[in-house]
Amino acid sequence: MNTIPVRTAGKLYGVGVGPGDPGLVTLRAVELIRDADVVAYHCARHGRSNARAIVAEHLGTQVEEALTYPVTTEATDDYQGRIDAFYTEAAGRLAAHLDAGRDVVVLAEGDPFFYGSYMHLHKRLAHRYTAQVVPGVTSVSAAAAALGTPLVERDEVLTVLPGTLGEDELARRLADTDAAAVMKLGRTFTGVRTALRRAGRAEEARYVERASTTTERRSAFEDVDPASVPYFSVGIVPSRVHVATTPAARADGDAARPRVSEGPSLTSDVTVNPSSHQSSSPGRGTVVVVGLGPGARDRLTPEAATALAEADDVVGYTTYVARVPVNPRQRVHGSDNRVESERAAFALDLARSGRRVAVVSSGDPGVFAMASAVVEVATEDYPDVAVRVVPGITAAHAVAARAGAPLGHDFATISLSDRLKSWDVVERRLTAVAEADMVVALYNPASRSRTWQVEAARDILLKVRDPATPVIIGRDVDGPEESVRVVELGALEPSEVDMRTLLIVGSSQTRWATTGAVYTPRRY
């Protein structure tokens, strides 16, 4: 009895062929293309395919399927409907080959899953057939290589944007990122350029056309004639770290890096960096007081990052402004930590002249930081200037999170500094908190000139608290010298505490578990 062999379906491959240079096609891609039964590729109605041209030397007896777009860049009343119908029909054609047991390779310029047309076929076929995707070199990587400029460095963020986004959305996202790649230029070029200018990034932006090919073109984005831009071009806003640290940038001095004013006094006699496209119109500026969080980049909120990116000027204590990512178009004004009112007035003067100003504080700006000073000075002397406060993660919460959950019930925060209030006030408040049996976070416990307050605070608390009460000593949390330890209140050694330390003293209900975690139950 003769048996009829069961036909096995073919396999589907989405194969990235890179940005244009045949030498950038991977070995795996070449292997699959040569062994394929069917090679499919997208093309316009003229029949030419960039993807096919890249791998032409590897084609031989394979069946070729040209997937011809019904529309490309021309206007049409039902673009999406026609494209959806096209992909459904194209998927049907490839499915016939797969059902017949033929392996099908679909060529994709760049990478198949990076704005690639292959993904529309994958979504229609991968649930029915064995499918595999072979990555390729993207146009973004090729453009960066062509420019000889790093895209991102260290902890910078790269944002990839389609030029088809609305101008407002493009401008917002460009202002909110360290580096960017803008795809799908062509007809969108003018809108993208306007968005770059609104975001203050146009002078940084570079243009690359047909990267890695013999017709490659590179230039400053501002120098490009919009009428000459093809679809296969990319806008690159490269690494700010690289721009600010290259020998050429250092040699250019102020033209390459932000100008920083330092010292205890500040003036509003500033020169606007010519790379900024933002105008300075009197009465239209703003001040945003921004909380940087305890230190780590991932503790900075998206709202705070946006406020920093949109600013024309960054104002703050020198140690804190150094934590703001370098932006060559911005002016940075650092000052001594003891001139809060002067710093606030300086920022408000800048805003009154039309500048967008970010005043930065570590942690949360409303907790022993700059928000109070700015709001107070604005209320008294600058009622015409808009002020907004952007919160941040506090030092107390950062230290608490490292230790467990010591702030699980009622707690208080007290600064041990007696520079802006008398020690009598501090002493009364410590006594009240101790008698109320609340957890207390102690800010500003010591400095070079204040060395006795920690011992005094410990002794006040010990009048009410058990000597075994857990105390969390958090130093430089999120910084390179981070240290978090737990000791008993009676064993707290003041000499181990400095200005970079925050203390959390537990209540009678706070527990120090054998695992090392410290927590305060929510039930009292």
Per DSSP, the residues of 338-371 read T-HHHHHHHHHHHHHTT-EEEEEESB-TTSSSHH
Cβ-contact 45, 71 below 8 angstroms: no
Cβ-contact 283, 386 below 8 angstroms: no
Does residue 110 share a domain with residue 76? yes
Alpha helices in 271-322 (DSSP H): 302-310, 318-321
261 forms bridges with which residues in the sheet?
333
| Domain-embedded: residue 6 | no
Query: How many angstroms separate the CA atoms of 259 and 285, rounded?
Result: 20
Q: Which two tokens stand for residue 227?
A: 């009428």
Closest CA to 258 of 249, 246, 268: 249
Three-state DSSP string of 137-200: CCHHHHHHHHHCCCCCCCCCCEEEEECCCCHHHHHHHHHCCCEEEEECCHHHHHHHHHHHHHCC
Does residue 127 share a domain with residue 77? yes
| Domain-embedded: residue 76 | yes
Determine the pLDDT at residue 249: 38
* CATH number of the domain bearing residue 73: 3.40.1010.10
Does residue 417 share a domain with residue 335? no
Determine the pLDDT at residue 133: 97
Angle between helices 453-462 and 423-435 (to 10 degrees): 30
Does residue 90 share a domain with residue 117? yes
| Domain-embedded: residue 406 | yes
| Domain-embedded: residue 253 | no
Q: Calculate the CA dihedral of residues 82, 83, 89, 92 and round it to 10 degrees.
A: -150
Residue where the block lists tokens 């009112």: 341
Does residue 120 share a domain with residue 27? yes
* CATH number of the domain bearing residue 213: 3.30.950.10
Last residue of a domain, one of 117, 137, 157: 137
Does residue 231 share a domain with residue 166? yes
Determine the pLDDT at residue 253: 36
Which are the contacts of 14, defined by CB distance < 8 A and separation ≥ 6? 106, 108, 112, 113, 116, 118, 119, 121, 122, 131, 132, 133, 134
Which are the contacts of 247, defined by CB distance < 8 A and separation ≥ 6? none
| Ordered mean pLDDT values, 10 residues apiece, the chain (524 residues) | 67 97 96 96 88 95 93 66 92 96 96 94 96 97 93 89 94 91 94 93 93 93 93 89 44 38 41 35 77 85 88 91 84 82 92 94 92 94 93 94 94 89 92 95 83 90 94 90 92 88 94 92 86
Q: Which two tokens stand for residue 395?
A: 């030092």
Q: How many domains does the chain have?
A: 4
| Domain-embedded: residue 375 | yes
Does residue 414 share a domain with residue 361? no
What is the per-residue DSSP string for 92-145?
HHHHHHHHTT--EEEEESB-TTSS-THHHHHHHHTTTS-EEEE----HHHHHHH
Does residue 386 share a domain with residue 262? yes
Determine the pLDDT at residue 6: 54
Cβ-contact 16, 110 below 8 angstroms: yes
Cβ-contact 141, 211 below 8 angstroms: no
Secondary structure element (H or E) that encloses residue 84, with its range: helix 79-99
Determine the pLDDT at residue 449: 67
Instruction: State how beta strands 356-361 and 286-291 pair.
Output: parallel
Query: How many angstroms separate the CA atoms of 358 and 377, rounded?
Result: 16
Query: How many angstroms separate the CA atoms of 98 and 38, rounded?
Result: 9
Does residue 147 share a domain with residue 231? yes
Last residue of a domain, one of 393, 419, 441: 393
Does residue 144 share a domain with residue 62? no
Last residue of a domain, one of 342, 362, 393: 393
Query: How many angstroms separate the CA atoms of 98 and 84, rounded?
Result: 21
Instruction: State how beta strands 233-237 and 286-291 pair.
Output: unpaired
Determine the pLDDT at residue 489: 94
Q: Domain range spanning residue 443?
A: 396-519
Three-state DSSP string of 470-509: EEEEEECCCCCCCEEEEEEHHHCCHHHCCCCEEEEECCCC
Does residue 470 share a domain with residue 442? yes
Cβ-contact 152, 158 below 8 angstroms: yes
Angle between helices 370-381 and 340-352 (to 10 degrees): 60
Determine the pLDDT at residue 47: 80
